[in-house]
Copies of this chain bind each other. A is one copy, B any other.
Amino acid sequence: MAILNEEQEMLRDMARNWTTSESPVAAWRKVRSEKPVEGYSPDAWKTMAEMGWAGIVIPEPFGGSEFGWLSAGLVVEELGKTLTASPLVATTLAASAIVLGGSDEQKGKWLPKLASGERVGTLAFDEGPRHDGRYSAKVEGGKLTGTKAFVHEAHGATLFVVAAADGLYLVEKGDGVSLSDRKLTDQRSHAEVTFNGAAAEKLTGGGDTLLDDVLDRARILTAAEMLGMAQQVFDVTLDYLKQRVQFNQVLASFQALQHRMADLFGDLAMMRSAVEGGLEALDSGFGIARAATVAKAEANRVLHTMSREGIQLHGGIGMTDEYDVGFYLKRARVLEASWGSTSYLRNRFATLAGY
């Protein structure tokens, strides 16, 4: 765990208390069975916004707290632990695109609404089933046309940050914007979003690297959610092994399982370092691209193994819907495939390093 300042510790404790008491995995089960149209509980989102979480990376003049990315990561990690369904990551990323690339006017118009939770934002970038950095959506005369695949939190979003061939645009939900459900195995909100001559406003700031800068943030914050998931799978698996008795011994006493847990513990340590390294890079402003690549690649690698081993080490009951551990597996693969598969990220790492 990174060394936190007082403000960060407070924030983390607040998030941990809230998820534990108000938004445990049971809350996700409720969302799953009640199927609210947004894909999350609007009440929970309202509470989160009231606690100021939607504005953590938004500057104070625009209604945010500007606590920074490490702080945002701490909250998202806690949400990951209990699989809390919310548009917090998506909204934070949309806000960061505006912070980086918006004009003063755009910032003044949108950031306060995102910070207050009044608006839910999301990134609508990829056009195919995998993140490949190719964007063909076109804007002519202020009207955007193109189709975006598997947009996270599309059902609740009213503001889309859209990657077109020539840059990023803001598009409001409304005329020319239509959704088609894409229900993935994590059963969260995903949709194909079609823009058919929708009114679009360009983000003209942020320079040539704006798109990549936003993607780096998406990778790091997603990795933070994955870190929470991996930590939780590890913790519940360890607990299970300590309690379950087989052949008259607790499973935790079997050396083969001890060594596998030691391996997972080492992997988890590396994942945490990589993710916190990414968050700290964002706060310091140095080496972000590389740190983002390392953070998401490590998150992919470790959560992949952790979610698989979590099931195996639970044995049969881990395969049942009644137990939570399967949810982490399903969500893990969706996040793994978002904003860069492991192989995409290795390619990017090599390119950044010049080989």
Q: How far is the CB of A179 from chain B (nearest CB, A)?
A: 36
Interfacial chain B residues near A258, Cβ < 8 Å: 256
Interface string of A239-260 (1 = CB under 8 A from B): 0000000000000001110110
Interfacial chain B residues near A259, Cβ < 8 Å: 256
Q: How far is the CB of A249 from chain B (nearest CB, A)?
A: 11
A256 CA / B257 CA spacing, docked (Å): 8
Bin the interface of chain A by size.
under 10
In the complex, which residue of chain B has the Cβ closest to the Cβ of A257? B255
Q: How far is the CB of A122 from chain B (nearest CB, A)?
A: 36
Interfacial chain B residues near A254, Cβ < 8 Å: 255
A259 CA / B254 CA spacing, docked (Å): 11
Interfacial chain B residues near A255, Cβ < 8 Å: 254-256
Interface string of A298-342 (1 = CB under 8 A from B): 000000000000000000000000000000000000000000000
Give residues 245-289 of A contacting B (CB, 8 Å): 254-256, 258-259
A259 CA / B255 CA spacing, docked (Å): 10
Interfacial chain B residues near A256, Cβ < 8 Å: 255-256, 258-259
A255 CA / B249 CA spacing, docked (Å): 14
Q: How far is the CB of A13 from chain B (nearest CB, A)?
A: 38
A2 CA / B85 CA spacing, docked (Å): 56
6 nearest A-B residue pairs (beta carbon): A255-B255, A256-B259, A255-B256, A256-B256, A254-B255, A256-B258
6 contacts between A and B (CB under 8 A): A254-B255, A255-B255, A255-B256, A256-B256, A256-B258, A256-B259
